[in-house]
A = this chain, B = another copy of it.
Amino acid sequence: MVTSSVVNTYPLSSYSFGTKEPKMEKDTSVADRLARMKLNYMKEGMRTSVEAILLVQEHNHPHILLLQIGNTFCKLPGGRLKPGENEVEGLKRKLSSKLAANSPNMQPNWQIGECVAVWWRPNFETIMYPYCPPHISKPKECKKLYVVHLSEREYFAVPKNLKLLAVPLFELYDNVQRYGPVISTIPQQLSRFQFNMIPA
């Protein structure tokens, strides 16, 4: 793990992008998703998920890499840990599954940095909070967001059904309608970091 409050951000043009087989969503509706969550909770207890904030720069302003599904919904790369799985190792596994070529020789150097946010899901519902609400003794999910430091050059393989977007912080800020409560407050969570913008 890298714990530094300085984050080197390289130009988007430093990275190259290809495609790989689609990674379909496991559920086709929110209701299906919550039902599957409930079933898994009964088997394995609280779900822990980990997501990555991958940073690049354009015009000297930090941008975050988001996966877009269809034409609207955006999400951070990451996913659910296996029961007992280490968070850092699990996040690397999820990042490779979502963004790396299938060849073991072509895995990006995922340098997992600091945890910058933790969100809690008190019930089998879509709403999450940045704290475990009072009187909730058995939250259903804990989601942790990590800064991931990228190396200067990497190759990303993006599943064919998804688009990888570099979205500037100023687009995310105060834009809960478009990006939801978790992603739209990433600019505030990153504000304490110093970005070292590396020119092209």
**A contact set with B: CB distance below 8 Å:** 59-62, 114-119, 129-131, 133-134, 144, 168-170, 173-174, 181, 185, 187-192
Contact = CB atoms under 8 A, between A and B. Distances in A.
A115 B185 CA distance: 17
A189 B189 contact: yes
Contacts of A115: 192
Shortest 8 CB-CB contacts between residues of A and residues of B: A130-B191, A61-B134, A130-B188, A118-B191, A130-B187, A185-B188, A131-B169, A117-B191
B187 A131 contact: yes
A169 B132 CA distance: 10
Q: Chain A at the B interface: mostly helix, strand, loop or mixed? A: mixed
24 contacts: A61-B131, A61-B134, A115-B192, A116-B192, A117-B188, A117-B191, A117-B192, A118-B192, A129-B173, A130-B187, A130-B188, A130-B190, A130-B191, A131-B170, A131-B173, A131-B187, A131-B190, A134-B168, A134-B170, A185-B185, A185-B188, A188-B188, A188-B189, A189-B189
A177 B26 CA distance: 38
Nearest to A176: B174
